[in-house]
Each structure stands twice: as structure tokens, then as C-alpha cells.
Amino acid sequence: MSDPTRKRVLLGVTGGIAAYKSPDLVRRLIERGADVQVAMTASAQKFVTPMTFQAVSSRPARTDLWDAAAEAAMGHIELARWAELILVAPASASFLARLAHGRADDLLSTLCLASEAPLAVAPAMNRLMWANPATQANVTLLRSRGIRVLGPATGDQACGETGPGRMLEPLQLAEEAFSLLRSSAALIGVRVLITAGPTREHIDPVRFIGNRSSGKMGFAVARAARAAGAQVMLVSGPVALDTPPGVRRINVETAEQMHAAVREELSGAQIFIAAAAVADYRPSAPASQKIKKTGVAMDMRLEPVPDILASVSADQRRPRLVVGFAAETERMEEHARQKLEGKHLDMIVANKVGGQLGFDADDNALLLLWPGGSRRIERGAKLAIAHELMAAVAERFHEQEREGAGRPANKRTGKERRKARG
Ligand code: PMT
């Protein structure tokens, strides 16, 4: 019988000379507390035999989708469900291409498609194959789907060349695998409420005041929160994005509707993350009919809309962790700190907007600030950095839980609050 405290890692091995290091990786994973099941492609078996993996993992390596005896013992769908993490090391250029295109033409690619477990790949190939635009496009696509790409390292290669394309060393891969396992369970069952996208404030029935938010950042945060095991409710402004799997979603249009939806969902939320670009002002008297062109200048009176984030932070039902975003075009850190303090937040996520990052871009770069700490997340695909953000959010959340000794943030004593603020 398997030990429930041990982590279940499915190690995929594909065809490349770095496969000779994979038996050592199996041992490193086992030492750290994993049960390891190896699945090999046909090309991998040209480099290392299944028997080697059986010897180090104490389980027969799986090699064939059509192996009736192995399927009778544990079918491939069952195996895909068994895995808490799938790590493919080495991952060849060919395997990355098949994964990017959703091929399920052998056991390993089928397992990757059929599993909900986090998936990480450790590319290993010649430096020119790695640099090839086709490989780079595949890697970008995989990253955008939340697949972690570990490495490659730069150095001497088996082919005699030097450059990027070496598989990371087994020790480092084992550590990365365990860090992924920790983050994928970091928020199990925690209720997270997220706002995303823009709002639209009506001028008349056909015109509105809006902004350039695409919702990509907030949706990536929702996806990453779900991947960390959270129960996620997403309140979204008008965007053209699919709802991430496993996430509940409420669509709204105006800041007022977003505010009402957030108030409705606030009870029971343990973390609130405001990634939406909410309007600050709306027309005070929207016209009921289309405003006619007169050819002369016109003035429009605007009134402030409620600040959703500030109102959540001040609410009696305040979630334990309240996280705001700050979209800044200048003096980013200074302005973000003002918002952190002014709205009494537990964390602010600052991003520079107006250039190639931030609004409507696929990439972003973040500066996280909280009372007594900060962390930079370097430029990357929004989903990749959302995973890093959620790891930091989970850390702060669990810290607050310990400091608040089980009391909600708004019911803490002054001493607890001061301690939490550092
Ligand atoms: O959607 P994308 O195209 O992917 O772009 C992502 C993003 C740039 C929109 C996102 O990363 C981001 O920065 N979101 C916050 C944008 C914003 O409105 O920032 P702000 O500095 O104006 O507001 C500060 C905070 O108060 C934000 O958390 C905002 O959601 C919140 N707010 C603001 C006004 C208001 N009426 N209610 C609020 O809750």
C-alpha cells in the first residue's frame, strides 16, 4: 500500500542524451519523499533501458499505451489521475512540439493531456534546436498554458557545442519539483475572490468611458489561484476571454455592478484580489438617448465611483488578505506604497503601464509590496508571473493566519494588527 504522506510524481523521460541523468533524478525525488512512476517514450529507450528505471524506482517503467498487462494493473487514465505532478526530464524538442500541439500519440503525451496535475518540462537539446523559432514558439505556447519550463542551463553540450540547451541537474530539478508540489497545494480549499478586466461607464446608450484592460492579468491570477487549490470566484468586466477551468465567474459592466457583485460574494471570501481596472469617475447624468452632434464643444460632468478595493478593506467581513493592484505610469513604487497604506491593504501589486507591458499585453512585470517586505517578479508571460504572485500571496495568507491566531483580520487586536504590519 502506498504511503499517503509521500508525493506522487510521474516522471516522463523522452529521447535525448540527458536521459542518462534521469535515473539519478528518480533517486533524488525518492530521497525527498516522492513515489516515482516513470513513463518513457520509444526514443528514450534508445538511451536508457526501462530496467534501469525499474531498479531505481522499484516500479516497472511504463513504455506503451497498448501494453495490456500494464493497463490491467493501472490504466493510463488512472495513472494520469494518480500523479500529483508530472515532470518531463529530459524534454526533447520533438516532445515539446507534440505537447504544444496537443498530440496524444504515445503513452507519455496521452498522460500529459489526460491529467489535471501541474506539468513541468526540463528541455534538453542542442543549442540551435533550442534557439530555433519553432521551438521557442512552442515553449511560449506551453508557458502561456501554465506549463512550467525548468531551464535549460547553458554550458558544454554532448554534441561538442556550448550554449543553452543542457538539462538542469537532477538535484536542482528535484528541488524545483518539490517547490511546485508545495505551491500546487498552497491554497487548497481557500476561497479567493478576484476582480478582473475593465469597467464601462455609460455616457449614453451607445457610448461609454472605458480603459485598455483586456482582463488577461486578472484571469491569469484566477487560473493560478485555482492551480494552487483555491475555490475561485471571478468578477469580470467585459472581456473576450474564456473562463479558466474550475473557476466560477460573474460578468458585470459598470463599476457599480462590480461593486454590487463583490459585496454579494464577500461573505466567506478569505482572500480578495483586485486586478480590475475600475473606473474612477462616471458621467453624473448619462443621457437616455444618443447624444446628437452639435459641432460645438461640450462639457461632461463626472462624479467619482465607489472604490471597491477600499470598501472591501474597510468592510466588517474583510477577508483575511486584501490585495490591490497599482497601475502606474511614473514613480511606481511611491504611488503603490501610497495605495497600500491609504487603502489599508495587506499587499499591493505594482505594474508599470503605458509601454509594452501591463494593459492588453501578454507579458507583465510586477513589484509586490507589503508592510515590512517586497518582492520583484521579473518580466514573463502573465500566467507564469501569476503563479509566482499566488505563491507569494499564499505565503502572506498563511503568515496572517498564524499571526491572527484564527481571528479574521478585522477582528484582530491592535497588537496583532501592528505585528502583522511589521
Ligand atoms: O487586464 P490586462 O490587460 O491584463 O491589464 C492588467 C492591468 C494593468 C489592468 C492590471 O495588472 C492592473 O494593474 N490592474 C489594476 C488597474 C487599476 O485600476 O489600478 P489603480 O492603480 O487605478 O487602482 C488601484 C486599485 O484599486 C486596483 O486594485 C483597482 O482594482 C482598485 N480600484 C480602483 C478604482 C475603483 N473604483 N475601485 C477599485 O477597486
pLDDT of 85: 95
| Range with lowest mean pLDDT among 156-160, 175-179, 267-271 | 156-160
The residue contributing the CA closest to ligand 1 atom 10 is 275
Place of cell 464643444: 297
The residue contributing the CA closest to ligand 1 atom 16 is 277
- Residue 326 CA to ligand 1 center (angstroms) comes to 6
Ligand 1 probe mutation, 278, 323, 340, most atoms within 8 A of CB: 278
Ligand 1 atom nearest residue 276's Cα: 30
* Banded pLDDT at 153 (limits 50, 70, 90): very high
pLDDT of 116: 85
8 A C-beta contact, residue 18 and residue 156: no
What b/e readout covers 210-220, taking b as 16+ CB neighbours within 10 angstroms?
A: ebebbbbbbbb
- In whole angstroms, what is the distance from residue 129 CA to residue 135 CA? 7
The residue contributing the CA closest to ligand 1 atom 14 is 275
The residue contributing the CA closest to ligand 1 atom 21 is 326
- β 281-283/302-304 pair status: antiparallel
pLDDT of 2: 66
* Banded pLDDT at 227 (limits 50, 70, 90): confident
Ligand 1 atom nearest residue 211's Cα: 9
pLDDT at 384 over 90: no
Average pLDDT of 307-331?
97
- Residue 347 CA to ligand 1 center (angstroms) comes to 14
pLDDT of 418: 46
- In whole angstroms, what is the distance from residue 289 CA to residue 286 CA? 9
- Residue 324 CA to ligand 1 center (angstroms) comes to 8
Mean model confidence pLDDT for the chain: 92
Burial of 71 (0-12, 13-18, 19+ CB in 10 A): middle
Residue range 328-374, pLDDT digits in tens: 999 999 999 999 999 999 999 999 998 788 898 999 999 999 999 99
For residue 10, give the nearest of 98, 109, 101, 102 by alpha carbon.
109
- Residue 357 CA to ligand 1 center (angstroms) comes to 14
Residue range 286-310, pLDDT digits in tens: 999 999 999 999 999 999 999 999 9
The residue contributing the CA closest to ligand 1 atom 23 is 326
Residue 112 among the catalytic residues:
no
The C-alpha cell that represents 165 in the structure block: 540547451
Strand partners of residue 88: 12, 121
CA torsion 334→278→186→216, rounded to 10°?
-100
| Range with lowest mean pLDDT among 13-22, 68-77, 107-116, 248-257 | 68-77
Identity at 175, one-letter amino acid code: E
Ligand 1 atom nearest residue 339's Cα: 24
| Catalytic residue, candidates 42, 113, 128, 159 | 159
* Banded pLDDT at 182 (limits 50, 70, 90): confident
CATH topology of domain 191-421: Rossmann fold (3.40.50)
- β 85-91/119-123 pair status: parallel
* Banded pLDDT at 408 (limits 50, 70, 90): very low
pLDDT at 420 over 60: no
Residue 365 C-alpha from the chain's centroid: 14
CATH 3.40.30.10 fits 7-184, yes or no: no
- Residue 367 CA to ligand 1 center (angstroms) comes to 14
- Sign of the CA dihedral with 268 first, then 271, 277, and 280 last: positive
Average pLDDT of 117-146?
93
Average pLDDT of 42-47?
98
Q: Where in the chain is the domain with CATH 3.40.50.1950?
A: 7-184
The angle, 0 to 180 degrees and rounded to 10, between the axes of the packed helices 50-57 and 22-31 is: 10
Ligand 1 atom nearest residue 196's Cα: 1
Average pLDDT of 177-200?
93
- β 347-352/363-370 pair status: antiparallel
- Residue 219 CA to ligand 1 center (angstroms) comes to 13
Q: Where in the chain is the domain with CATH 3.40.50.10300?
A: 191-421
- In whole angstroms, what is the distance from residue 279 CA to residue 74 CA? 54
- Residue 242 CA to ligand 1 center (angstroms) comes to 20
For residue 257, give the nearest of 273, 277, 271, 237 by alpha carbon.
237
pLDDT of 1: 52
Ligand 1 atom nearest residue 360's Cα: 3
The residue contributing the CA closest to ligand 1 atom 33 is 278
pLDDT at 100 over 90: yes
The residue contributing the CA closest to ligand 1 atom 37 is 307
Ligand 1 atom nearest residue 305's Cα: 36
pLDDT of 381: 86
Average pLDDT of 200-210?
97
Q: Residues with beta carbon inside 6 Å of ligand 1?
A: 195, 197, 213-218, 255, 274-278, 280, 305, 307-309, 324-327, 339, 351, 353, 358-360
pLDDT of 403: 83
- Residue 372 CA to ligand 1 center (angstroms) comes to 23
Better pLDDT: 97 or 384: 97
pLDDT of 355: 79
Place of cell 472605458: 210
Ligand 1 atom nearest residue 343's Cα: 26
The residue contributing the CA closest to ligand 1 atom 18 is 277
